[in-house]
Amino acid sequence: MTPGGPARVVDDELELAGDELDAADRAEGAADGPGARGASLLTADDRAALAALLGGDVRFDEPMRRHTTLKIGGPADALAEPGSVGALIAVVRACAARGLPVTPIGAGSNLLVRDGGVRGVVLGTRGLRGLERVGATGIRVEAGVSTGKLLKTALDADLGGLEFLGGVPGSVGGGMIMNAGTYLGELKDVTREVTTVRLSDGERVVRDLAACGFVYRGSAIRADLEVVVEARLELTPRPRAEMEATIKGLRQRRHDREPKKVSNSGSTFKNPPGEFAGRLIEACGLKGTRVGDAEVSPAHANWLVNTGAARAADLLALIALVRARVQEVHGVALELEVKVIGED
């Protein structure tokens, strides 16, 4: 801690739905057998350079199903999870110099990785866990901090504005990209500044609120061109008891309406303007529809879940089926909320 500066809080475990090991993960190699992936883009020299930069913070040929709440996904050539912004910049610059593609990810709570995995370097931000108070009502938070930890910090300080995070699993970095939120609010409501690192050259980019271009479940921050590393938030004093009552109501609503004991990524589709994706899907009679172990949840039709050993191909086929049926019946083109990366 800097003398006279704000206290630094270390992030705890990420608060994620379906974050436990499943049978497919324990059956090592089951989803990553012959033909499950393309040829690695990394040479032996590339691997040695990344290992020298990151030590134990890089893993090679890493099954991505271990790093998403859907528990689906083939292997990444390399999964790099730097422990600081400086280390992340060094990795980005090394990859740029070597011509290696970089794919940033957050906590994996809104992510579907295709069965062939991801070529090049997957850049995770779980290691960026800085979190500190700034002045009376501000918070500076790094990308890997869980939404649960951020919310607890606000509660402990009697600062309101983040109560909606009681219904949003994941991490701050991914949340900023998609403007995460619920009916109670969105990150855009409290964000004042977002810092990213450009993947082309490792330079920092600082955006004010207007430049972030937040919209419903989206922003002007392009995950294919940059990676979020930190954000500055501005909150409002509010009694803790009031906030806890709001959060309790939101979590109870989530508990009552959403699937349990299945691997999932939350809502699969964005809500169309003035409508609910779940209502449209349910009206088509699609609850319980399956492709392999991928299922339209009987509990909530906008949650397409992995009931056991689903592959990405199963879930993508189910997504296509649902979209086609909703288009046919309602004339509405559903837009994905879950992010899809990798190759078949």
* pLDDT score at 168: 84
Regarding predicted confidence, which is higher, 322 or 3?
Answer: 322
Q: Is there a catalytic annotation at residue 217?
A: yes
Task: List the structure tokens of 21.
Answer: 């090991």
Higher pLDDT, 226 or 14: 226
Query: What tokens does 76 get?
Result: 């990444």
pLDDT score recorded for residue 179:
95
Q: What is the pTM of this model?
A: 0.87
Cα 268 to Cα 270: distance, rounded to the nearest angstrom? 7
**pLDDT at residue 37 tops 70:** no
List the catalytic residue out of 186, 226, 230, 337.
337
Q: Which pLDDT does position 111 carry in this prediction?
A: 96
Domain over 134-241 is classified CATH 3.40.50.880: no
**Could you read off the pLDDT of 92-144 as tens digits, one per residue?**
999 999 999 999 999 999 999 999 999 999 999 999 999 999 999 999 999 99
Residues 210-222 pLDDT 10s: 999 999 999 999 9
The one catalytic residue among 109, 219, 267, 297: 267
Alpha-carbon radius of gyration of the chain: 20
Q: Is 242 a catalytic residue?
A: no
Architecture of the 259-341 domain? Alpha-Beta Complex (3.90)
12, pLDDT greater than 80 = no
Burial, 57: exposed, middle or buried (Cβ in 10 Å; 0-12, 13-18, 19+)?
buried
Give the tens place of pLDDT for each residue, 277-328: 999 999 999 999 999 999 999 999 999 999 999 999 999 999 999 999 999 9
Please spell the DSSP secondary structure of 41-53, one letter per residue: S--HHHHHHHHHH
Tell me if residue 267 is catalytic. yes
Domain borders along the chain are: 134-241, 259-341
**Three-point CA angle 317, 222, 273, nearest 5°:** 60
pLDDT-above-90 percentage for the chain: 83
Identified catalytic residue from 217, 311, 323, 325: 217
